[in-house]
């Protein structure tokens, strides 16, 4: 629905932040961050891309949004769920956020992932 923006930072830990854009321009900086910053857990410059799945794909996993980050020695799935109820005035809405890593057994993990496509 394009009401959120996911960003991978240029800091040493490639921090992933998700910003709420609805309503736009009412909050700025850390006030706009809906998810506690999460570390990709790899050394820079490892994370080179971020992709959002189509909404129906995320729903198949039981989530509102599914993001994928890729890079050198890095592939991670980020599950994001939107608040289920309205928050009180002055209270930050509660989002659920989780990171999942792929399981490569019995294969070896790739040295780099450059792109993903949802088909």
Model pLDDT for residues 69-119, shown as the tens digit of each residue: 888 877 888 888 877 766 677 676 677 888 888 877 777 778 888 888 887
Q: Which residue has the tokens 């005035």?
A: 89
Q: In which element (H, E) is residue 58 found? A: helix 55-60
In angstroms, rounded to a whole number, what is the distance separating the alpha carbons of residues 27 and 114? 33
Nearest to 38 by CA among 29, 47, 28: 47
Q: In which element (H, E) is residue 55 found? A: helix 55-60
pLDDT bucket at 1, cuts 50 / 70 / 90: low
pTM of the model: 0.74
- Quick one: how many helices (H) and strands (E) in the chain? 1, 6
Check pLDDT > 80 for residue 37: no
């Amino acid at each position: 629905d394009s009401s959120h923006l996911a960003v991978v930072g240029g800091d040493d830990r490639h921090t992933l932040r998700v910003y709420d854009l609805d309503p736009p321009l009412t909050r700025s900086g850390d006030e706009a961050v809906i998810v506690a910053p999460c570390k990709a857990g790899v050394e820079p410059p490892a994370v080179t891309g971020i992709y959002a799945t189509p909404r129906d794909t995320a729903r198949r996993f039981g989530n509102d949004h599914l993001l994928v980050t890729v890079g050198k020695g890095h592939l991670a799935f980020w599950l994001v769920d939107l608040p289920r109820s309205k928050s009180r005035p002055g209270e930050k809405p509660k989002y659920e956020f989780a990171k999942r890593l792929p399981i490569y057994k019995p294969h070896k993990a790739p040295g780099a992932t450059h792109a993903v496509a949802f088909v």
